[in-house]
Amino acid sequence: MSARTTHLDKGVGAALAALSAAAKKGLGDPVLAELVMMRASQINACAFCLDMHVDIAVRNGETAKRIALLNAWAEAGEVFSERERAALALTEAVTVLTDGFVPDEAYEAAAKHFGDSELAHLIGVITVINSWNRVMVSRRTEPGGYAP
């Protein structure tokens, strides 16, 4: 697969970066934000974003074990907290809108662990990573180009 040369407008990139920063800051949990971004990137097969967010997660203290088990988070038992599992379930529901909506169960489970503002920011994190994934996958951006 060859890289595409499709240009990303600087304004669009800056807007996505600003949304990402605001959503992560409002969520207030950098490790959880990276778990969410990695999980959505796994689902969307975005190697560039996955590579980048693994690096950021490690710098924020995430462990290799939890990163390795992220793709099987629902079966990983207590490796992930209830709060993290609720966020990951919501991530999957928002990322894969097969029925055209987020199931009430996924939203309500997340709402039990996140206040209104936190939940809004969590949804913002999920939304922006899905946007980035779509940009990078459509451009076939390969991993390794991220510089911290």
Give how far the C-alpha of residue 96 lies from the chain's centroid of Cα atoms, to the nearest Å.
13
- CA within 13 Å, CB half, 32: 29
- In whole angstroms, give the CA distance from residue 115 to residue 133: 27
pTM: 0.91
Least confident of 15-24, 38-47, 94-103: 94-103
Domain ranges of the chain: 31-139
| Residues present in the chain in total | 148
**Environment class of 51 (CB within 10 Å of its CB; exposed 0-12, middle 13-18, buried 19+):** middle
Task: List pLDDT tens digits, range 37-72.
Answer: 999 999 999 999 999 999 999 999 999 999 999 999
Q: 31-139 in CATH: which number?
A: 1.20.1290.10
Residue 136: what are its φ and ψ, rounded to 5°? -70, -40
Task: List pLDDT tens digits, range 2-19.
Answer: 555 556 778 988 999 999
